[in-house]
């Protein structure tokens, strides 16, 4: 269990003075809480780091105070002057003075008794705030702090500025953070002394103290030594956790699966093209993994159109050759049925029995599929999350493929793996989003990785151009010519950022406009349509009865119409690089020359311009992913917020890649020399894992 000395940090934030139920709700909004945590805790307050400071160190005499500056003044309270009766707009004024001059403290809509208690006539007070000159009079409106002489230490001379939400004041957070700091127990040092000395980094406790109670304005910069120290702590805990989980998975008794190659030979014979070099390499790696006596957990990452589905089918065929079953799980019904369309003809040629199981299968049809799965009549089942429901049982599941893994949680992955009985199923995770090396190390460190870097022969390059929206009528005229020559077109409508209209309204408006110019060959597809209507529209486009498909981003993943050769993305400047690349991957699948037109509204911002330039310069998804990481930063890359990848609480800092690489090497060295974390440093590192809530890894030591 978690060490008892850390328990105060995991107590509810409401255990801090000044945090009641209302403030607790506001904290839940303002703070980044880990998945599954429903109320803010003391630890969450500590990880809510400031973004700047207000410097209150200037303590001039009243006569020397400069208008517009934030100052702290020691003054005597001279007299109160309430506003005239009936004039609610007039302010309440309190005149204060020191030996050099006078100042009016000004309060609007003030409660008189409260001000009289705060500023009793004849007494000395410290006041801090911004001074302004009103005519000849110096004023301070609504001082930020008013404290008595004996409470001088309550006034922060360098006040941290925190990210807030409506209704939550900075003062409340400053007070809460100060109390949270007092809860930190004495902690053992988990970093190497030589590494700390070389970097000039403080201890953990000093580092977090200096961020919440800075002694210098530069302390709260992400490049400062205190912040860099904590960033490295977070990265090291992440790398250690991934390393521990990975070793645990590797140590679990798996199931060795070996096929005789007869089914794979039939699939290869039915393929209209030869496998690429990287497909062959990936298959060799997968074959070696599943023949080994431990559980396979491998990531197959390939760019759009690199042939992941064929690798998945060939891998599943190994399990069937060995007399077992396989499954492929996709995040959406559209994608599941797309995989079925690709796999079915090849499976038929190889004599494989394939079924589909999604939320749409109901009643008798579903019962029959479940019975055939349980008695082994189905070799491969393709489906959505419906596959890991309790009533789905396999006679003998040996291999599971999970597509677009970042849309599924680790728990779902384990639930599917568990359906493989005692040895557990071997798992292949596929992603169509090329992942930069740094992100691979951070978020997928528990998986071995295979990369598909080539496109199958015959895939033509896609000509990509950025075109201003003003030229839209010219674009429509060019499309009219292309349609006459047999082309088909995707027209993607933008993500709408303002609340004026939805992306659905934008799509409907563009659809009506294109129907006027191009006639009834224009269809409309959006997320709010019923499943049957979506299928009908897609079928009409696939069969070339519709020539133009106006869509929202529902077509981003898994739509395959080889004849479609033109992709128009309207307001391309509103999309991220990864999404633009995914959308472009919908074309270039057939024999025709393909085009991607990025329509943008001028003038472009600097980052939007870099995105569009990158799209025009290359089709290499791995290069694009690296650029995406550079433009967006480690915490948000590839839509991490939407997709459930972990967000960093501290580690989004300058030098992220360097720190991450060192943390990875350090974690590997630690686990090589002290795999159970039994040494003095090992026990200190266990504390680090708990502090950054790498509980999955920490659980491995409960028996230790």
Domain boundaries, the chain: 4-51+163-217, 57-155, 262-433, 462-618
Query: Is residue 128 pLDDT above 70, yes or no?
Result: yes
pLDDT digits (tens, 9 = 90+) for 26-41: 999 999 887 668 899 9
- List, for residues 655-679, the tens digit of each pLDDT value: 777 888 899 889 999 999 998 899 9
Residues in the chain: 704
SS3 575: coil
CA angle 141, 142, 148 (to 5 degrees): 120
φ/ψ bin of 477: left (φ > 0), alpha (ψ from -120 to 50), beta (otherwise): alpha
Average pLDDT over residues 650-658: 80
Q: How far apart are the first and last CA of the chain?
A: 11
CA-to-CA dists, residue 308 to 355, 431, 440, angstroms: 20, 9, 18
Shared fold status for 262-433 and 462-618 = yes
Mean residue pLDDT across the chain = 85
* Distance in angstroms (rounded) separating the CA atoms of residues 414 and 424: 9
**Tell me: the pLDDT tens digits for 296-312?**
878 888 877 788 889 99
Q: How far is CA 656 from CA 103, 147, 232, 313, 511, in A?
A: 49, 42, 9, 38, 45
User: Would you say residue 704 has pLDDT above 90?
Assistant: no
92 — pLDDT class (breaks 50, 70, 90) = very high
The two three-digit tokens of residue 219, written as one number: 């302390």
Structure confidence at residue 202 as a pLDDT band (50, 70, 90): very high
262-433 folds as Rossmann fold (3.40.50)
The whole-angstrom separation of Cα 522 and Cα 517 is: 10
- Whether this model's pTM surpasses 0.75: no
Give the sign of the dihedral formed by CA 673, CA 675, CA 679, CA 683. positive
pLDDT (0 to 100) of residue 177: 95
**CATH assignment of 462-618, given 3.40.50.300, 3.40.50.1260, 3.30.420.40, 3.30.70.360?**
3.40.50.300
Q: Give me the mean pLDDT over the 682-688 stretch.
A: 94
Residue 504, pLDDT score: 63
Q: For the domain 57-155, what is the CATH code? A: 2.40.50.140
The pLDDT, as a whole number, for residue 421 is: 65
Confidence band, pLDDT 50/70/90 cuts, at residue 509: confident
Give residue 643's pLDDT: 37
């Amino acid at each position: 269990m978690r060490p008892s000395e850390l328990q105060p940090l995991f107590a509810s934030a409401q255990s801090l003075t000044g945090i009641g139920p209302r403030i607790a709700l506001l904290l839940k909004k303002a703070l980044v809480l880990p998945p599954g945590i429903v109320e803010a805790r003391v630890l969450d307050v500590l990880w809510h780091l400031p973004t700047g400071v207000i410097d209150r160190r200037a303590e001039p005499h009243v006569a020397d105070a400069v208008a517009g500056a934030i100052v702290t003044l020691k003054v005597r309270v001279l007299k109160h002057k309430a506003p005239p009766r009936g004039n609610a707009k007039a302010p309440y004024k309190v005149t204060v003075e020191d030996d050099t001059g006078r100042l009016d403290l000004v309060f609007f809509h003030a409660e008189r008794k409260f001000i009289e208690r705060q500023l009793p006539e004849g007494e000395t007070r410290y006041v801090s705030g911004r001074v302004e000159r009103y005519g000849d009079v110096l004023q301070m409106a609504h001082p930020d702090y008013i404290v008595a002489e004996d409470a001088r230490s309550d006034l922060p001379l360098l006040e941290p500025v925190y990210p807030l939400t409506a209704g939550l004041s900075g003062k409340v957070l400053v007070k809460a953070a100060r109390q949270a700091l007092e809860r930190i127990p004495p902690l053992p040092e988990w970093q190497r002394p030589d590494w700390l000395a070389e970097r000039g980094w403080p201890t953990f406790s000093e580092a977090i103290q200096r961020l919440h109670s800075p002694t210098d304005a530069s302390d709260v910069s992400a490049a400062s030594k205190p912040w860099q120290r904590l960033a490295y702590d977070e990265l090291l805990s992440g790398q250690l956790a991934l390393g521990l989980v990975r070793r645990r998975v590797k140590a679990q008794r798996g199931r060795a699966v070996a096929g005789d190659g007869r089914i794979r030979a039939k699939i290869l014979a039915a393929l209209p093209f030869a496998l690429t070099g990287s497909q062959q390499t990936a298959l060799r790696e997968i074959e070696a993994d599943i023949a080994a006596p431990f559980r396979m957990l491998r990531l197959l990452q390939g760019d759009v159109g690199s042939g992941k589905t064929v690798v998945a089918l060939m891998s599943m065929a190994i399990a069937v050759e060995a007399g077992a079953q396989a499954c492929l799980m996709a995040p959406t019904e559209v994608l599941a049925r797309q995989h079925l369309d690709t796999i079915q003809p090849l499976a038929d040629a190889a004599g494989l029995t394939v079924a589909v199981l999604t939320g749409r299968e109901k009643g008798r049809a579903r019962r029959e599929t479940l019975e055939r799965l349980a008695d082994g009549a189905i070799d491969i089942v393709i489906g959505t999350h419906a596959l890991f429901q309790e009533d789905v049982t396999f006679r003998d599941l040996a291999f599971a493929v999970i597509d677009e893994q970042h849309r599924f949680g680790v728990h779902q992955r384990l639930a599917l793996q568990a359906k493989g009985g005692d040895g557990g199923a071997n798992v292949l995770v596929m992603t169509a989003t090329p992942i930069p090396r740094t992100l691979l190390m951070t978020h997928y460190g528990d998986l071995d990785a295979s990369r598909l870097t080539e496109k199958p022969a015959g895939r033509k390059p896609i000509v990509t151009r950025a075109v201003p929206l003003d030229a839209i009528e010219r674009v429509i005229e060019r499309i009219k010519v292309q349609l006459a020559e047999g082309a088909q077109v995707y027209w993607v409508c933008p993500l709408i950022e303002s609340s004026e209209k939805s992306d659905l309204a934008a799509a409907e408006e563009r659809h009506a406009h294109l129907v006027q110019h191009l006639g009834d060959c224009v269809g409309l597809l959006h997320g709010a349509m019923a499943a049957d209507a979506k299928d009908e529209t897609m079928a009409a486009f696939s069969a070339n009865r519709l020539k133009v498909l106006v869509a929202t981003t529902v077509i981003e993943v898994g739509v395959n119409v080889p004849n479609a050769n033109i992709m128009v993305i309207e307001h391309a400047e509103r999309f991220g690089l990864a999404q633009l690349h995914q959308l472009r991957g919908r074309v270039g699948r057939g024999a025709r020359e393909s085009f991607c037109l990025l329509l943008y509204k001028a003038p472009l911002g600097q980052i939007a311009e870099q995105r569009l330039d990158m799209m025009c310069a290359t089709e290499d998804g791995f290069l694009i992913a690296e650029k995406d990481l550079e433009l967006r930063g480690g915490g948000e890359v590839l839509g991490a917020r939407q997709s459930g990848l972990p967000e960093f609480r501290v580690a989004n800092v300058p030098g992220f890649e360097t720190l991450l690489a060192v943390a990875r090497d350090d974690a590997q060295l630690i686990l090589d020399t002290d795999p159970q974390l039994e040494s003095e440093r090992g026990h200190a590192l266990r504390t680090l894992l708990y502090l950054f809530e790498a509980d999955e890894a920490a659980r491995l030591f409960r028996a230790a």
